[in-house]
Amino acid sequence: MTPTHIEHIGIAVASLKEAIPFYETVLGLECYAIEEVKDQKVRTAFFRVGQTKIELLESTDPEGTIGKFVEKTGGGMHHIAFAVDDVATALKEVEAAGCQLIDKAPRDGAEGLKIGFLHPKSTNRVLTELCGKK
Ligand code: ZN
């Protein structure tokens, strides 16, 4: 498993409405999609920066992962996502290499992509996501 690029960087925010203007007005990026991901209890907003995206995450449930993160930290850098061809295979490979997983199998992420998270204990404390078409 070798990631092809950084698919996106996930940033937790208290409010998409309050966070989006920085990316649009200050950085001049365009928010091209806002999507709710029920499984993760978030609404996401996406910006393209070359091959990489910025994924803003707003909680839809205070008990969800992002809700708790924003409550505790006020929000900020949340995770980094690497693009891989096949998430299921990549998860098996990193587990075989000794990495602890949060997701043993891929689940549905935003933009119709499959995703799987690796445990920060195994990734130098950086929540790491693998992201791909299958
Ligand atoms: Zn993500």
What digits encode the pLDDT tens for the residues 32-83? 999 999 888 999 999 999 999 999 999 999 999 999 999 999 999 999 999 9
Q: What is the pTM of this model?
A: 0.93
- Give me ligand 1 centre to Cα 56, in Å: 9
**55 Cα: distance to centroid of ligand 1 (angstroms):** 7
Alpha-carbon distances of 123 from 11, 36, 48, 66, rounded to whole Å: 18, 27, 25, 19
**Helix H or strand E segment including 79:** strand 76-83
Tell me how far the alpha carbon of residue 89 lies from the centroid of ligand 1, in angstroms: 18
Residue 107 pLDDT greater than 90, yes or no: yes
CA distance linking residue 133 with residue 113, whole number of Å: 5
Q: Is the pLDDT of residue 111 over 90?
A: no
> How far is the centre of ligand 1, averaged over its atoms, from the C-alpha of 119 (Å)?
14
Kindly give the distance from the C-alpha atom of residue 10 to the centroid of ligand 1, in angstroms, as a whole number: 5
What's the CA-to-centroid distance between 97 and ligand 1, angstroms?
22
**Distance from residue 79's CA to the centre of ligand 1 (Å):** 7
pLDDT at residue 115, as a whole number: 96
Q: Please provide the average confidence, as pLDDT, over all residues in the chain.
A: 96
Q: How far is the CA of 131 from the centre of ligand 1 (A)?
A: 8
Residue 39: the pLDDT is 84
- Given a cut of 90, whether residue 13 has pLDDT beyond it is yes
Q: What's the gap in Å between 1 CA and the centre of ligand 1?
A: 19
CA distances from 97 to 20, 90, 94 (A): 38, 11, 5
- Distance from the CA of 69 to the center of ligand 1, in angstroms? 14
